[in-house]
A and B are shown apart, each in its own frame.
Chain A
Amino acid sequence: MSTVNVSRRKFLGTTAVVGGGLVVGFSLSGCSRAPLPIEKTEGSLVPNAFLQITPDNVVRFYCPRDEMGQGVTTGLGTLICEELDYDPVNLDVAFAGVHSDYGIPGAGIQMTGGSGSIRAHYEQLRQVGADTRALLVEAAARDLGVARERITTADGHVLADGERHAYGRFVATAQTLTAQEGAPLKAPSEFRYIGKELPRIDSIAKATGTAQFGIDVDIPGMHHAVVVRSPVAGARLKSVDKTKARQMPGVTHVLEISSGVAVVAEKFWQAKTAAETIEPEWEDAPLGAVSTQTVRDDYQAGLQTDEGLVGPEEGDLDAGFAAAETVVESEYWVPYLAHAPLEPMNAVVKLENGEADLWTGTQSPTVAQGLVARFAGLEEEKVRVHNAYLGGGFGRRATMTHVIEATELAVATGKPIQLLWSRADDMRHGVYRPASLMRIKAGVDAEGHLSTWDAARVGGNITPDSIENLLPGLFPGLDASTVTWMAGLSDDLTKGWFADPSSVEGLHADYDFENLRVTHTTVDHGLPLTFWRSVGHSYTAFAKESMVDELAEAAGVDPIEFRLSNTKNNPRLHNVIRVAGERASRMRPGAGHHLGFAAHHSFATDVAQVAEVSVSSGKIRVHKVLCVVDCGTAVNPDVVRAQMEGGIMFGLTAALYGKLELENGAIRESNFHDYPILRMDEAPEVEVVILDNGTEPTGVGEPGLPPIAPAVANAVYLATGMRVRSLPFDLEASRVEGLSQWRVPPRDPFWPHSGRV
């Protein structure tokens, strides 16, 4: 079965799809009409939505973004503390409820992703700190009868006339003053915390088991729910026999909800055991006819159609290929992937007196609130969201089927419900990184310029599927048919009018191309897709950086030299390549080890990586990774390092093992035995070099990931002579499939396919 949808329309430039009409102005004073979701302690100061300072000098920070491991509480807390003059380690952090003041500045909604938190809040939260400090200084001046100019601050204290007073001493007076906005910010040379190696502020909670994740929420009267869903996405329930499950110990309800059949019991294990006795029958769904081979065949057909939407386009491809001395063409394949955060999806919903409480770890409290409101039939203001630590996000926790399920069950049973997905549920009923087939044909001229680049991608689109999942929560008041219409519209747009930017990002940038074209063909079999750590870059970097290595070899140029001479227009990327290259030349790989190189720009950050790899008996071993990153100002260099380390391990898991296989529309993998995650004995040593150029900070949560797969692939080539163009690496399969053979391309200036469009 194939749903190839091709047409030939052009689009001008890259258009980002953004939700309209959601922009809400930020106000430090929280003067939006809705009250702040803050519990104020007696006598404490709440100068704005982000801070509460008690008389005994506890400073509580209401973190507007979600902590999924990326260190956002530490990073954003550091921004506030820098200007407030308060040691970040002492900060008491709470996750903000839903309120317009907590939206992403300039975007309005509360959502965490796109490696954007530090970038988005860099100015705003320092200003919050500075204004709050100014307020406390003013209060101290009055209380102490000292001129403001003679007061300094440090470490949560006011210093005046040689005396030291805790901020808390002045909160009573501060409450009587009107907070002013626009206090001057420090110059970077005055920074005490930004740019310093400070410990994470959540590490003690996380090392003692006291950090509360969504799954840890436990409220009186709470019942536990497990849902049995169709193995094939989109299949409706045909029939189910509930008798046996109903008689199992502890079971209070067995009922049908939108996503399947739910079992509710007093304890989780009872619900799970009873759910195992249920064997529903499902209707057929279109995806049921699809297996991995269907996907690959249909993508291959899509690639052969010579049609598709033309994305970014510059110069003259024909002329470029005609002038090229070296032309290489290759295809690259990557499979569907699950995010597999270690904490499976879960949510607690309680309905009482026309109000709702939701406890969950979410990447979007705004959407979560909207979903509960929609499915409980409440106004959004009646829904309180209690965000928790996220046991991993990676894009997965912006889609919240689990919140819908828990809400439906709370409505149906009248009880507070904790819903928990099993690992197999997470693997088989989630939302996925799309599979992709890519082809790049590129030409290098006689002077070694990588002048001509013709790239194509076939696969499903990330943006429309994600929009479809977000819309019901973003607009809880809109009826279902309008939501379906809007979702269909974005789907149609990316199928027929312009290439989804997320689908092709990273496939057409970084090098000094003069003649460039990207074509996109949507072939979508209906498996739900979404953002997965580094989104499109997670596969485009593999194709792009593998191809650049192939080109360098074909042109007879050292791959690092080749990258340097073709990144003149991207000075920051050029610089990380230069530094990584210099360091690579000093690395001393062990006997039989090889160094592979790759570089990529994503989320406004530039990263180059060198992977030291050996291959023995077909097994790839990555011993060491050198990672050079330029992310502007590194607010906390140690957190930047940790994110690079984490991105590398995540990308390496995908490169070495990651794949989901479809069998008659069902995902075959179910747990970590057949969807392996890199373990300690396979983890490379990682050395991170941060080039802090003092400019505004850029992303770090995702950019460490894209270069690792191609860096390893390029090393594997040196070790084996085999170009592996398919993920995950499978040297044996690659040999058979022929996606891996290295061939010197014909040096034909009139490459036969150059007039393809």
Chain B
Amino acid sequence: MIEFELNGEAVRTDDDPNTPLLWVIRDTFKLKGSKYGCGAGLCGACTMHVDGVASRTCTLPVAAVANRRVTTIEGLGTPQDLHPLQAAWHEHSVPQCGYCQSGQIMSAAALLASNPTPSEAEIDAAMSGNICRCGCYPRIKKAIQSVGDTSLAYNAAAGREVNS
């Protein structure tokens, strides 16, 4: 029996401890927002946060998240209560087929949490593990920058230091 925190709630599972977290989340907890694209850590479609760190969960055994905090796209925001990145995704009409976008947004959210105003090179570095077969990259980048800019403006208005 493995226990962990899923989107703020304590959960437990008796799935085989070697089962990748992705399949436990999708098939046992029935949260389908995180996707399977490659199963080998190559595409980022399965990205979730484990203790706030963007992680490829298709290769991460569920045993590895025992007693840790897991956040999925469902825990980031909802259609009624969008995370700023999700709002930016809508505003910039980022998604095409949409299949990669949960993973893209989770990677971007982890980036902005540690670096609210990333440079273009920092965005490239943080996002290059996420494949978009539809080629939404220019829009993904713009959407991340727009949220970064907002937080920059917010931080400046509040007289805070921003790490850039």
Report yes or no: B102 in contact with A209, Cβ–Cβ below 8 A.
yes
Q: Which residues of B contact A645 (CB under 8 A)?
A: 135-136, 138-139
Closest B residue to A651 by CB, please name it. Answer: B135
Q: Which residues of B contact A649 (CB under 8 A)?
A: 132, 134-135, 137
Interface of chain B: mostly helix, strand, loop or mixed: loop
Q: Which of B19-27, B49-57, B151-159 contacts A (4 or more CB under 8 A)?
A: B19-27
Closest A residue to B100 by CB, please name it. Answer: A342
Q: Does B101 contact A (CB under 8 A)?
A: yes
Q: Does A656 contact B (CB under 8 A)?
A: no
Q: Which residues of A contact B102 (CB under 8 A)?
A: 209
Report yes or no: A678 in contact with B135, Cβ–Cβ below 8 A.
yes
The distance from the CB of B106 to the nearest CB of chain A, in whole angstroms, is 9
Report yes or no: A680 in contact with B133, Cβ–Cβ below 8 A.
no
State in angstroms the CA–CA spacing of A653 and B135 once bound together: 9
Report yes or no: A200 in contact with B15, Cβ–Cβ below 8 A.
no
Q: Which residues of A contact B98 (CB under 8 A)?
A: 69, 202-203, 205-207, 211, 213, 389, 391
* Cβ proximity bits A556-568 to B, threshold 8 Å, 1 near / 0 not: 0000000000000
Within residues 635 to 664 of chain A, which ones have a CB less than 8 A from any CB in chain B? 638-639, 642, 645-650, 653
Report yes or no: A342 in contact with B95, Cβ–Cβ below 8 A.
no
Q: Does A123 contact B (CB under 8 A)?
A: no
Report yes or no: A648 in contact with B135, Cβ–Cβ below 8 A.
yes
The distance from the CB of B41 to the nearest CB of chain A, in whole angstroms, is 10
A269-B16, A342-B45, A673-B40 are contacts. A392–B99 as well, Cβ < 8 Å?
A: yes
Report yes or no: A642 in contact with B93, Cβ–Cβ below 8 A.
yes
Within residues 186 to 220 of chain A, which ones have a CB less than 8 A from any CB in chain B? 199-200, 202-213, 215-216, 218
Q: Which residues of A contact B40 (CB under 8 A)?
A: 423, 671-673
Q: Which residues of B contact A650 (CB under 8 A)?
A: 133-135
* Cβ proximity bits B102-115 to A, threshold 8 Å, 1 near / 0 not: 10010000000000
State in angstroms the CA–CA spacing of A639 and B134 once bound together: 13
Report yes or no: B39 in contact with A203, Cβ–Cβ below 8 A.
no
Q: Does A681 contact B (CB under 8 A)?
A: yes
Closest A residue to B129 by CB, please name it. Answer: A679
Report yes or no: A269 in contact with B138, Cβ–Cβ below 8 A.
no
Q: Does B34 contact A (CB under 8 A)?
A: yes
Q: Does A686 contact B (CB under 8 A)?
A: yes
Q: Does B127 contact A (CB under 8 A)?
A: yes
Report yes or no: B16 in contact with A249, Cβ–Cβ below 8 A.
yes
State in angstroms the CA–CA spacing of A673 and B39 once bound together: 12
Report yes or no: B38 in contact with A207, Cβ–Cβ below 8 A.
no
Q: Which residues of B contact A68 (CB under 8 A)?
A: 97
Report yes or no: A200 in contact with B93, Cβ–Cβ below 8 A.
yes
A423-B39, A645-B138 are contacts. A203–B93 as well, Cβ < 8 Å?
A: yes
Report yes or no: A208 in contact with B35, Cβ–Cβ below 8 A.
no
Report yes or no: B38 in contact with A672, Cβ–Cβ below 8 A.
yes
The distance from the CB of A370 to the nearest CB of chain B, in whole angstroms, is 25
State in angstroms the CA–CA spacing of A269 and B18 once bound together: 10
Q: Does B86 contact A (CB under 8 A)?
A: yes
B97 contact from A216, A224, A343, Cβ within 8 A: A343
Q: Which residues of B contact A648 (CB under 8 A)?
A: 135
Q: Which residues of A contact B132 (CB under 8 A)?
A: 342, 649, 680
Report yes or no: B97 in contact with A342, Cβ–Cβ below 8 A.
yes
Report yes or no: B93 in contact with A639, Cβ–Cβ below 8 A.
yes
Closest B residue to A207 by CB, please name it. Answer: B89
Report yes or no: A205 in contact with B79, Cβ–Cβ below 8 A.
yes
Report yes or no: B136 in contact with A673, Cβ–Cβ below 8 A.
no
Within residues 73 to 105 of chain B, which ones have a CB less than 8 A from any CB in chain A? 73-74, 77-79, 82, 85-86, 89-91, 93-102, 105
Report yes or no: B138 in contact with A685, Cβ–Cβ below 8 A.
yes
Report yes or no: B124 in contact with A200, Cβ–Cβ below 8 A.
no
Closest A residue to B33 by CB, please name it. Answer: A209
Q: Does B12 contact A (CB under 8 A)?
A: no
Q: Which residues of A contact B42 (CB under 8 A)?
A: 671-673
The distance from the CB of B147 to the nearest CB of chain A, in whole angstroms, is 12
State in angstroms the CA–CA spacing of A205 and B39 once bound together: 24
State in angstroms the CA–CA spacing of A209 and B130 once bound together: 16
Q: Which residues of B contact A212 (CB under 8 A)?
A: 32
Closest A residue to B135 by CB, please name it. Answer: A649
A208-B82, A343-B35 are contacts. A269–B23 as well, Cβ < 8 Å?
A: yes
State in angstroms the CA–CA spacing of A451 and B121 once bound together: 48
Report yes or no: B93 in contact with A677, Cβ–Cβ below 8 A.
no
Q: Which residues of A contact B131 (CB under 8 A)?
A: 342, 672, 677, 679
A268 contact from B27, B37, B85, Cβ within 8 A: B27
Q: Which residues of A contact B95 (CB under 8 A)?
A: 69, 200, 202-203, 206-207
Report yes or no: B93 in contact with A390, Cβ–Cβ below 8 A.
no
Closest B residue to A340 by CB, please name it. Answer: B133
State in angstroms the CA–CA spacing of A411 and B12 once bound together: 35
The distance from the CB of A249 to the nearest CB of chain B, in whole angstroms, is 7
A69-B97, A69-B98, A680-B141 are contacts. A646–B134 as well, Cβ < 8 Å?
A: yes
State in angstroms the CA–CA spacing of A341 and B37 once bound together: 9
Q: Which residue, of B96, B128, B131, has the highest number of chain A Cβ atoms within 10 A?
A: B96
Q: Does B1 contact A (CB under 8 A)?
A: no
Q: Which residues of A contact B4 (CB under 8 A)?
A: none
Q: Does A70 contact B (CB under 8 A)?
A: yes
Q: Which residues of B contact A683 (CB under 8 A)?
A: 135, 137-138
Closest B residue to A211 by CB, please name it. Answer: B98
Q: Which residues of A contact B34 (CB under 8 A)?
A: 209
B94 contact from A70, A207, A224, A269, Cβ within 8 A: A207
Q: Which residues of A contact B23 (CB under 8 A)?
A: 267-269
The distance from the CB of A472 to the nearest CB of chain B, in whole angstroms, is 27
State in angstroms the CA–CA spacing of A681 and B132 once bound together: 12
The distance from the CB of B116 to the nearest CB of chain A, in whole angstroms, is 19
* Cβ proximity bits A511-534 to B, threshold 8 Å, 1 near / 0 not: 000000000000000000000000
Q: Does B43 contact A (CB under 8 A)?
A: yes
Q: Which residues of A contact B32 (CB under 8 A)?
A: 209, 212, 215-216, 218
State in angstroms the CA–CA spacing of A268 and B72 once bound together: 20
Q: Which residues of B contact A156 (CB under 8 A)?
A: none
Report yes or no: A681 in contact with B128, Cβ–Cβ below 8 A.
yes
State in angstroms the CA–CA spacing of A249 and B129 once bound together: 33
Q: Which residue, of A204, A210, A270, A680, has the highest number of chain B Cβ atoms within 10 A?
A: A680
The distance from the CB of A218 to the nearest CB of chain B, in whole angstroms, is 6
A203-B95, A212-B32, A267-B23 are contacts. A342–B43 as well, Cβ < 8 Å?
A: yes
Q: Does A344 contact B (CB under 8 A)?
A: yes
Report yes or no: A680 in contact with B33, Cβ–Cβ below 8 A.
no
The distance from the CB of B134 to the nearest CB of chain A, in whole angstroms, is 5
Q: Does A71 contact B (CB under 8 A)?
A: yes
The distance from the CB of A77 to the nearest CB of chain B, in whole angstroms, is 14
Q: Does B70 contact A (CB under 8 A)?
A: no
Report yes or no: B90 in contact with A199, Cβ–Cβ below 8 A.
yes
Closest A residue to B131 by CB, please name it. Answer: A677
State in angstroms the CA–CA spacing of A68 and B82 once bound together: 24
State in angstroms the CA–CA spacing of A600 and B133 once bound together: 23
Report yes or no: B90 in contact with A203, Cβ–Cβ below 8 A.
yes
Within residues 207 to 266 of chain A, which ones have a CB less than 8 A from any CB in chain B? 207-213, 215-216, 218, 224, 249
Closest B residue to A704 by CB, please name it. Answer: B135
Q: Does A422 contact B (CB under 8 A)?
A: yes
Q: Which residues of B contact A205 (CB under 8 A)?
A: 79, 98
The distance from the CB of B120 to the nearest CB of chain A, in whole angstroms, is 10
State in angstroms the CA–CA spacing of A112 and B102 once bound together: 25
Q: Which residues of B contact A270 (CB under 8 A)?
A: 16
State in angstroms the CA–CA spacing of A215 and B98 once bound together: 13
For the complex with contacts A203-B94, A389-B97, 19 further pairs of A-B residues with Cβ separation under 8 Å are: A200-B95, A204-B82, A206-B89, A209-B31, A209-B32, A209-B73, A267-B15, A269-B15, A342-B43, A342-B97, A343-B97, A390-B97, A423-B38, A671-B38, A671-B40, A677-B43, A678-B137, A680-B128, A680-B130
List, sorted by A's number, 15 A–B pairs whose CB atoms are closer than 8 Å.
Answer: A203-B89, A203-B90, A206-B89, A209-B73, A210-B33, A267-B15, A342-B133, A420-B36, A423-B40, A646-B134, A649-B135, A677-B43, A678-B137, A680-B128, A683-B135
B interface, CB within 8 angstroms of A: 15-16, 19-20, 23, 26-28, 30-40, 42-43, 45, 72-74, 77-79, 82, 85-86, 89-91, 93-102, 105, 123-125, 127-141
